[in-house]
């Protein structure tokens, strides 16, 4: 690859795109809201939230010096990340804590990049992260889910027109922000009959009641949604 090709590629990756009309941005928000709150669409789309959830566990585990043995994604949209290290302590706590927070954090980071007009950069960063996560997938359904998601993002980045890229990126960002809230409600509603959830494991590890961890997830994720909204729809604030 010569210097001109490298320069051209860099220009494409760092290109700044203007925000779509506010009506289009609002429409993508409504579409994402519908996907999250309609059970039929949520059951399929929730796989994206699970990928972010398990990716959060995996990334924080590695950052805390834990050994990552693998990630499994299941057809019921559950998942598990297998790590090795101390059973208690800061690293173990942060690894568990990351799961329910990471979809909102990814959504907020995406909103910031979109706000900056870095839509193409966001698409390619997503592809790189999915490729890295694919190295640790340890079951067939998980591999298919990662490949399908990655190919979808690649197709948008490589073939879609800029306007289409913007619409899909806005819709996905909204989905991550809004979709990060529903699992918190679900784990709250199921807390009395769902053993082994992240909040319950955090409670056992830290002696802080599970309900406090669920409230923390809710505050962070709803706050991320509010902050992300201020970036995606700045004219309304």
Report how far residue 226's alpha carbon sits from residue 103's, in angstroms, rounded to the nearest whole number: 14
Count of residues making up the chain:
237
Is the whole model's pTM more than 0.85, yes or no?
Answer: yes
Mean pLDDT of the chain: 93
* Proportion of the chain above pLDDT 70, given as a percent: 95
Query: Which pLDDT score is estimated for 25?
Result: 97
The secondary structure of 143-197 as a DSSP string is HHHHHHHHHHHHHHHHHS-HHHHHHHHHHHHHHHHHHTTHHHHHHHHTTTT-TT-
Any idea what DSSP says for residue 46? H
Write out the two tokens for 221: 């994720």
Rounding to the nearest 10 degrees, give the CA dihedral for residues 228, 229, 235, 237.
Answer: -100
Do the beta carbons of residue 114 and residue 177 sit within 8 Å? no
User: Residue 187 — φ and ψ, nearest 5°?
Assistant: -70, -30
Q: What three-state secondary structure class fits 71?
A: strand
Contacts of 91 (CB under 8 A, 6+ apart): 61, 64, 65, 66, 85
Mean local confidence (pLDDT), 34-40: 97
Tokens of 154: 């690649």
Q: Mean pLDDT, to the nearest integer, of 31-60?
A: 97
Nearest to 164 by CA among 106, 119, 228, 118: 119
DSSP letter at 21 equals: P
The DSSP 8-state label assigned to residue 132 in this structure reads H
Q: How confident is the model at residue 51 (pLDDT cuts 50, 70, 90)?
A: very high
In whole angstroms, how far apart are CA 193 and each of 54, 189, 197, 213, 229? 22, 9, 10, 17, 34
The answer to whether residues 114 and 170 touch, using CB atoms and an 8 Å cutoff, is yes
127-142: per-residue pLDDT in tens? 999 999 999 999 999 9
* pLDDT score recorded for residue 191: 67
pLDDT confidence bin for 11, thresholds 50/70/90:
confident
Q: What tens digit of pLDDT does each residue of 178-236 get?
A: 999 999 999 988 865 556 799 999 999 999 999 999 999 999 999 999 999 999 999 76
Query: CA 60, CA 82: separation in Å to the nearest integer?
Result: 12
Per-residue pLDDT, 27:
97
- The mean pLDDT of 19-35, rounded to a whole number, is 96
Q: How far is CA 41 from the centre of its chain?
A: 17
Question: Cα angle at 126 between 123 and 132, to 5 degrees?
Answer: 145
pLDDT of 4 > 70? The answer is no
Among the listed residues 59, 103, 113, 116, the one whose alpha carbon sits nearest the alpha carbon of residue 220: 103
pLDDT at 87: 87
Is a pLDDT exceeding 90 seen at residue 9? no
Under the banding of pLDDT at 50, 70 and 90, the label for residue 94 is: very high
Q: What is the mean pLDDT of residues 68-88?
A: 95
Average pLDDT over residues 112-125: 95
Residue 107 has pLDDT above 70, yes or no: yes
Average pLDDT over residues 56-79: 96
């Amino acid at each position: 690859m010569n210097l001109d090709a490298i320069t051209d590629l860099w220009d494409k990756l760092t290109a700044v795109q203007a925000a779509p009309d506010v009506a289009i941005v609002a429409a993508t928000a409504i579409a994402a809201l519908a996907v999250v709150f309609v059970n039929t669409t949520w059951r399929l789309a929730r796989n994206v939230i699970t990928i972010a959830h398990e990716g959060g566990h995996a990334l924080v585990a590695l950052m805390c010096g834990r050994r990552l043995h693998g990630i499994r994604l299941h057809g019921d949209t559950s998942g598990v990340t297998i790590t090795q290290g101390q059973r208690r302590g800061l690293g173990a706590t942060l690894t568990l804590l990351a799961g329910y927070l990471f979809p909102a954090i990814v959504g907020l980071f995406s909103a910031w990049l979109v706000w900056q007009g870095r839509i193409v950069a966001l698409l390619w960063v997503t592809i790189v992260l999915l490729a890295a996560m694919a190295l640790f997938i340890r079951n067939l359904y998980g591999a298919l889910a990662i490949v399908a998601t990655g190919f979808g993002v690649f197709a948008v980045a490589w073939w879609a027109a800029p306007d289409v890229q913007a619409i899909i990126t806005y819709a996905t960002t909204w989905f991550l922000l809004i979709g990060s809230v529903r699992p918190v409600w679900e784990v709250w509603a199921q807390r009395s009959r769902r053993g082994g959830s992240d909040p319950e494991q955090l409670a056992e590890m830290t002696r802080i009641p599970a309900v406090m961890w669920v409230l923390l997830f809710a505050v962070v994720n709803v706050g991320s949604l509010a902050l992300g909204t201020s970036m995606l729809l700045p004219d309304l604030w």
